[in-house]
Amino acid sequence: MAKRERRARIAFIGGGAMGEAMIRGILTKKVAIPQDMVVSDVSPIRRELLNKKYGLSTLADNRKAMENADLIVLAVKPQNLRQVAEEIRAPSPEQLVLSILAGGTLSKLCQDLNHSCVVRAAPNMPAQIGQGITVWTATAETNKKQKELAQAVLSALGKEIYVADEKYLDMVTALGGSGAAYVFLFIEAFIDAGVHIGLPRSIAQEVVLQTMIGSTCAVEKMGKHPAELKNMVTSPGGTTTEALLQLEKGAFRYHLLEAVAAAHAKAQRL
Ligand SMILES: NC(=O)c1ccc[n+]([C@@H]2O[C@H](COP(=O)([O-])OP(=O)(O)OC[C@H]3O[C@@H](n4cnc5c(N)ncnc54)[C@H](OP(=O)(O)O)[C@@H]3O)[C@@H](O)[C@H]2O)c1
């Protein structure tokens, strides 16, 4: 009879917004069960909440939490990394550490942790509702099974893409990480524009949100270039071209390109 594979054990260091999102996704997608997971957090309020809500064991001791874990997820704020790295330094060689911290290169993580099996992932804020996009990479020492585990856990946050070259992570931070803020700003301004011309705010919000969702789905499902879809909405001498003229006058595309390039330059400096 074939031997049944042991389920992976996962330790979370930090059970805040992102840690909880991962736990929720992991349980929903049945990547692991509550008995396979443990969370360590300095906050007694978070520990009680995660224990009550998901039935997980919780601890205040990071070192203890990582004992026996196949995967150690770092989900604290970047400013807490130094202390956490000291506490969990030099895990067993077969343990995989997965960091979702903004910034922090693989080489820095390996050095701080004195460990070589490390995954660095760059999720974005909609991951908190399982609609994120996470781009991730791993050190050469990470084996196939560990990569599969990392992929299963990250897919709990939404879509995920593995890249072999770490340089893409700073680019993704500028496009998808900070990008969520550009989209929120656009949505806010778009709703305000509806209110400005006289629509009740609640109607403006519903129209804007469904226009964003519908247009995104159209790009995804219709298999046409965005410019082609835009042209389909733009009749000669009509209302759309009047609006597009104003956006081109304000150099909308130029500013978007400049904004993403500035965020990328900043991510590289961090
Ligand atoms: N939020 C996002 O949308 C987002 C998106 C992409 C990437 N990320 C990355 O994800 C990471 C986590 O973000 P988050 O929004 O989940 O942060 P968060 O909500 O602040 O969660 C972090 C948790 O870790 C706890 N903590 C602090 N120091 C600790 C320590 N020494 N040991 C154990 N636990 C400790 C915090 O407790 P206290 O609050 O009491 O300090 C908090 O409960 C960050 O590094 C961030 O860069 C976040």
Q: What is the pLDDT of residues 62-84, one digit of tens each?
A: 999 999 999 999 999 999 999 99
What pLDDT sits at residue 260? Answer: 98
pLDDT score of 1 more than 60: no
Please provide the average confidence, as pLDDT, over all residues in the chain. Answer: 95
What pLDDT sits at residue 2? Answer: 54
pLDDT digits (tens, 9 = 90+) for 112-159: 999 999 999 999 999 999 999 999 999 999 999 999 999 999 999 999
Kindly tell me the number of DSSP H helices and DSSP E strands found in the chain.
12, 8
Mutation to probe ligand 1, out of 38, 48, 77, 84 (largest number of atoms < 8 A from CB):
77
Q: Are 120 and 148 in contact (CB under 8 A)?
A: no
Residues with CB under 6 A from ligand 1: 13-19, 40-43, 46, 62, 75-78, 80, 83-84, 100-102, 123-125, 128, 177
What pLDDT sits at residue 269? Answer: 87
DSSP letters, 6-22, are: PPPPEEEE--SHHHHHH
Mutation to probe ligand 1, out of 39, 42, 62, 131 (largest number of atoms < 8 A from CB):
42
pLDDT digits (tens, 9 = 90+) for 23-73: 999 999 999 999 999 999 999 999 999 999 999 999 999 999 999 999 999
Atom of ligand 1 nearest to the CA of 84: 31
> Please, what are the domains in the chain?
10-164 (3.40.50.720), 179-269 (1.10.3730.10)
What pLDDT sits at residue 270? Answer: 80
What pLDDT sits at residue 5? Answer: 72
In terms of Cβ atoms closer than 10 Å to its own Cβ (0-12, 13-18, 19+), residue 87 is middle
Q: How far is the CA of 168 from the centre of ligand 1 (A)?
A: 23
